[in-house]
């Protein structure tokens, strides 16, 4: 059922998951490292937000975007999803 959400092959989906996930981690760490520079708070906000978005996108490659959104807005996860999205903005 996982493969039904996209026309991409499983290997391609795993590769893009890894690329997005590693990019998300690197952006988050880079944002944290830039926090100590002058005007670093703005750079931190940008890179940390990009890191979180990339990490979220990585799971879309495994689950598919529609299934990802359905899982995120499930009643059990709704409050956590709203808090996360509000804090990203």
Examine the pLDDT at 83 and tell me if it is beyond 60. yes
Tens-place pLDDT, residues 24-73: 999 999 999 998 888 889 999 999 999 999 998 998 888 888 888 889 89
Examine the pLDDT at 4 and tell me if it is beyond 60. no
Residue 44 CA: distances (Å) to CA of 2, 26, 30, 75, 81:
35, 12, 8, 32, 22
Examine the pLDDT at 6 and tell me if it is beyond 70. no
What does the alpha-carbon distance between residue 44 and residue 35 come to, in Å, rounded to a whole number? Answer: 5
Higher pLDDT, 8 or 52: 52
Contact residues for 31 (Cβ-Cβ < 8 A; gap 6+): 43, 44, 45, 46, 47, 48, 50, 51
- CB pairs under 8 A, 24+ apart, for 41-46? none
């Amino acid at each position: 059922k996982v493969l039904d959400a996209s026309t991409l092959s499983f290997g391609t989906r795993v590769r893009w998951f890894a690329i997005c996930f590693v990019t998300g981690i690197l952006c988050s760490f880079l944002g944290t490292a830039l926090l100590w520079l002058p005007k670093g708070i703005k750079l931190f906000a940008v890179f940390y937000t990009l890191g979180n978005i990339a990490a979220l996108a990585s799971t879309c490659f495994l689950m598919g975007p529609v299934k990802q959104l359905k899982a995120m807005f499930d009643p059990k996860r709704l409050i956590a999803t709203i808090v996360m999205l509000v804090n990203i903005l």
